[in-house]
Amino acid sequence: GPVQAFIAAVPKAELHIHLEGTLEPEMMLELAARNGLPPPYLSAEAARQAYQFKDLQSFLDLYYNGCAVLLTSQDFYDLAWAYFERAASENVKHIELFFDPQTHLERNVPFSTFLPGILDAVTTAKEKLGLNVRLIMCFLRHMSEESAIETLNQAKPFREHLLGVGLDSSEANRPPSLFKRVYGMAKALGLRLVAHAGEEGPAEYVWEAIKDLGVERVDHGIRSLEDTALVTHLEEQRIGITLCPLSNMRLKVFPDEATAARILGKFILETKLLVMLNSDDPAYFGGYLMDNYLFVQRILSLKVEQVARLAKNSFSASFLSDEERQHYH
Ligand code: ADE
Ligand code: ZN
Q: How many domains does the chain have?
A: 1
On whether residue 214 sits in a domain, the answer given is yes
- Domain holding 81: CATH number? 3.20.20.140
Q: Does 219 sit in the ligand 1 pocket, CB within 6 Å?
A: no
The Cα 122–Cα 13 span in angstroms is 15
Q: What is the pLDDT of residues 85-139, one digit of tens each?
A: 999 999 999 999 999 999 999 999 999 999 999 999 999 999 999 999 999 999 9
Sheet of 92-99: strand order equals 12-18, 92-99, 132-140, 162-168, 192-197, 217-220, 240-243, 275-277
On whether residue 67 sits in a domain, the answer given is yes
On whether residue 20 sits in a domain, the answer given is yes
On whether residue 329 sits in a domain, the answer given is no
On whether residue 79 sits in a domain, the answer given is yes
Average pLDDT over residues 201-220: 98
- At position 207, the amino acid (one-letter code) is W
Q: Name the pLDDT band for 4 (thresholds 50, 70, 90).
A: very high
Q: What's the distance, Cα to Cα, between the start and end of the chain in Å?
A: 23
On whether residue 325 sits in a domain, the answer given is no
Range of the domain at 198: 2-319
Q: What is the pLDDT of residues 152-199, one digit of tens each?
A: 999 999 999 999 999 999 999 999 999 999 999 999 999 999 999 999
The Cα 105–Cα 111 span in angstroms is 7
pLDDT of 303 above 80:
yes
Q: Supply the mean pLDDT for the chain.
A: 98
Average pLDDT over residues 65-90: 99
> Going by CA atoms, what residue is nearest to atom 10 of ligand 1?
169
On whether residue 140 sits in a domain, the answer given is yes
pLDDT of residue 5: 98
Q: What is the pLDDT of residues 240-296, one digit of tens each?
A: 999 999 999 999 999 999 999 999 999 999 999 999 999 999 999 999 999 999 999
Atom index in ligand 1 nearest the CA of residue 141 equals: 9
Distant-in-sequence, close-in-space partners of 93: CB < 8 Å, separation ≥ 6? 11, 12, 13, 130, 131, 132, 328, 329
On whether residue 328 sits in a domain, the answer given is no
pLDDT of residue 327: 87
Q: Does 56 sit in the ligand 1 pocket, CB within 6 Å?
A: yes
